[in-house]
Amino acid sequence: MLDIPSRVRVHVEPPLAAQNDMGVCDAIEQYAPVGRPDAMNAPHLPKVAGIDSTVPAPAHTVAPTSSVTGIPSATSSIGPGAVLQDRLAGWVSDLTTLHELTERLARTAALDDALQELLRAGAALVGARRGLIVLEPADGLGPDTTIGLGLGRADLGHIETVPRSSMSYGKLLDTPAGLPGGDAEIAQPDLFAEDGLDPRHREVAARLGYAASYALPLSTQAAGRLGAAVWLYDEPAEPVERQRHLIGLYARYATEHLARLVELERTRACMATITEELLPPRLPRVSGVQLAARHRTGPRGGGDWYDALPLPDAALGLAVGSVTGAGPSAIAAMGRLRASLRAYAVMEGEDPVAVLSDLELLLRLTEPARSATALFAYCEPALRKITLAGAGHSPPLVIGERRTEFVETSVSAPLGMLACWEAPSVELLAEPGETVLLYTDGLLHRTGDPMDRAFSRLHAAAASVPRALRDDPDAIADHVLRTVLPDGLDEAGGEEDVVLLAARFE
């Protein structure tokens, strides 16, 4: 990130500076020792407030230092010192603009947000109104996506119908790095005046109303090519040299930031895939009961899990649990714990206390530094009878026409917290059409409320399930998620894992 002080004092010998026309960074590095004095040499430094991405960065014009033949220069009477001050003021303003734009980009933590910010900032720097980014990492590991600025999904669809080889982003992405055209900008200042323009490209440009484009590759030395950015002009135009210099500096930093977010996105996707593979691929079909499950994985991967397995004598075992910690170790521990519980449930599932006691002993012997919460229910669908036991886990919730209430379970410690765990089981008789909802604490923690208020919110969400949806456990689970966690908090990517397991008895 560019670290630029708000005030810069520049000491330059006027004759030497007047003979050199250098770029921003070269001039500041050679001629401008940075300090923090009270004022600049320039009496009125242009003030650059918060940068509005919809407004192009302010342009600074530097008066010529020499006069055209026969015509006196407008600044010949001002002197080289004033000309230099105006030029340095423009450089400082440009650097301030870059500093604020890179600060705003650095605050983005999601890949989509960073791509949108890059598009907005780039449009402001090059003076365009619309644009798109095609993200296609060269290693082929993804993620691949196309995001537009001022372009709807239908507009992007029209652009994708143009042969890739005739689009500037296609030329950048399909040309190997190091070859001519693979690492350079592509400016098309007047598309309709170009000879050999693809007819489909001409048709799409006319339909969408753009007449020029400017494209840059997005690549880093470490990560290689990530994609390409293209900005579209409504009229024939192209960025001037100053704008190209600024967008080049900004794109260089932005691509490094994107590379880090791409790696983070890949890690999250890998964690989510591993977690999903350790959970049941499908829910069993058991006569007399309908099942539905919802699972949301946090960004670091957590240890929340659920299970549903058929047992002898037409019985059904339901389980939810949570392992402490996050990341690969917690996911691995969750997989081991779930597999062990399945084995114990097959052997002695009719006694949930024995199942959890065996699980606690295994956890204490094999992973003494870890604890877990769990709830196991032995269901007899023909009788609508449920026998359950919990170890430090939140109580199930019964949702029906006549009642919406939490099941009264005994208070017990999590697995691995005591030298010997045991707690009494609880029996529940469900009415026809009632749904028993099992869940993990992540559902409550994501609300951000204290636990008592979170439980109240969950109860209110369950009680508000519309009558028309109560026959469908999938609809009940979705309604509870959206009501307890509004505004997208139910989506994957939250800090806590969320598990919901709904069983509706007929």
The C-alpha atoms of residue 160 and residue 137 are separated, in whole angstroms, by 18
Residue type at 256 in one-letter notation? E
Which range (22-36, 247-261, 380-394) has the least confidence? 22-36
Torsion of CA 383, 384, 385, 391, to 10 degrees: 150
Question: For position 390, what pLDDT does the model report?
Answer: 92
Give CA angle at 126 (123, 128), nearest 5°.
Answer: 50
Distance CA 396, CA 406 (A): 6
Task: Tell whether the model's pLDDT for residue 42 goes beyond 50.
Answer: no
Specify the amino acid at residue 140.
G
Percentage with pLDDT > 70 across the chain: 80
Q: Range with the lowest mean pLDDT among 60-69, 119-128, 392-401, 443-452?
A: 60-69
Query: First-to-last CA distance in the chain?
Result: 61
The pLDDT of residue 15:
35
Which of 104-118, 267-281, 300-314 has the least mean pLDDT?
A: 267-281
Of 79, 84, 68, 63, nearest to 20 by C-alpha is 84
Lowest mean pLDDT among 14-28, 126-140, 331-345, 363-377: 14-28
Average pLDDT over residues 233-253: 93
pLDDT at site 128: 95
The confidence band for 271, taking pLDDT boundaries of 50, 70 and 90, is confident
What is the rounded CA–CA span in Å between residue 480 and residue 404? 13
Under a CB-based contact definition with an 8 Å cutoff, are residues 445 and 490 in contact? no
What pLDDT, on the 0 to 100 scale, is given for residue 180? Answer: 52
pLDDT value of position 183: 66
What's the confidence (pLDDT) of residue 195? 87
Please give the average per-residue pLDDT across 462-466, as a whole number: 94
Bridge partners (DSSP) of residue 321 are 305, 374
pLDDT at 428: 93
pLDDT at 81 over 90: no
The residue that leads in pLDDT, 2 or 360, is 360
Over range 315-344, report the average pLDDT.
91
- Adjacency order of strands within the sheet including 404-406: 289-296, 498-505, 435-439, 397-399, 404-406
Per-residue confidence (pLDDT) for residue 434, from 0 to 100: 95
Residue 347: pLDDT band (50, 70, 90) is very high
Is residue 185 classed exposed, middle or buried when 0-12, 13-18 and 19+ CB atoms within 10 A define those classes? middle
Contacts within 8 Å (CB) and 24+ apart, 446-455: 446/485, 446/489, 446/490, 446/494, 446/495, 446/496, 446/498, 447/484, 447/485, 447/489, 454/484, 455/394, 455/406
Locus of tokens 């080049």: 248
Provide the token pair at 483.
């009501």
Note every long-range contact of 17-20, with CB atoms under 8 Å and residues 24 or more positions apart, other chains counting: 17/80, 17/84, 18/65, 18/80, 18/83, 18/84
DSSP of 74-125: TTTTT-HHHHHHHHHHHHHHHHHHHHHHHHHHHT--SHHHHHHHHHHHHHHH
User: ω before 396 within 30° of 0 (cis)?
Assistant: no
Structure letter (DSSP) for residue 329: H
Percentage of residues of the chain with pLDDT beyond 90: 56
> Tokens 């099942």 belong to which residue?
291
Least confident of 93-97, 311-315, 324-328, 502-506: 324-328
Q: How far is 96 from 3, CA to CA, in rounded Å? A: 9
| CA 454 – CA 441 distance, rounded (Å) | 10
Given this model, what pLDDT does residue 2 score? Answer: 46
Pairwise CA distance, residues 357 & 341, whole Å:
10
Residue 171 structure tokens: 């030329």
Q: Domains of the chain (ranges plus CATH)?
A: 1-37+76-107 (no CATH), 109-269 (3.30.450.40), 279-505 (3.60.40.10)
Contacts of 286 (CB under 8 A, 6+ apart): 310, 314, 316, 381
Whether the predicted pLDDT of 140 surpasses 50: yes
20: Cα within 13 Å, side-chain hemisphere: 15
Res. 37: pLDDT tops 50: no
* pLDDT bucket at 196, cuts 50 / 70 / 90: confident
The per-residue pLDDT for 77 is: 53
- Taking the whole predicted model, whether its pTM rises above 0.95 is answered as no
pLDDT at 298: 72
Dihedral of CA atoms 296, 297, 302, 303 in degrees, nearest 10, equals 40
* d(C-alpha 249, C-alpha 264), whole Å: 24
Give me the count of residues in the chain: 506
Q: Pick the closest to residue 505 from 394, 391, 377 (CA basis).
A: 377
Whether 159 contacts 230, CB under 8 Å = no
In which residue are the tokens 């003021």 written?
Answer: 89
Mean pLDDT taken over the chain = 82
Residue 221 has a pLDDT of: 85
Among the ranges given (26-40, 96-110, 351-365, 482-496), the one the predictor scored with the smallest mean pLDDT? 26-40
Q: What is the pLDDT of residues 353-396, one digit of tens each?
A: 999 999 998 988 888 888 999 999 999 999 999 999 999 899 99
pLDDT band (50, 70, 90) for residue 420: low
More reliable by pLDDT, 68 or 205: 205
Between residues 48 and 428, the one the model is more confident about: 428
The pLDDT value recorded for residue 231 is 96
Whether 338 has a pLDDT exceeding 80, the answer reads yes
Residue 119 has a pLDDT of: 96
What's the pLDDT band for 168 if we cut at 50, 70, 90?
very high
Cα–Cα distance between 506 and 494 in angstroms, integer?
A: 34
CB 505 within 8 A of CB 306: no
pLDDT at 189 over 60: yes
Mean pLDDT, residues 230-246: 94
Q: Which of 106-115, 427-436, 487-496 has the lowest mean pLDDT?
A: 487-496
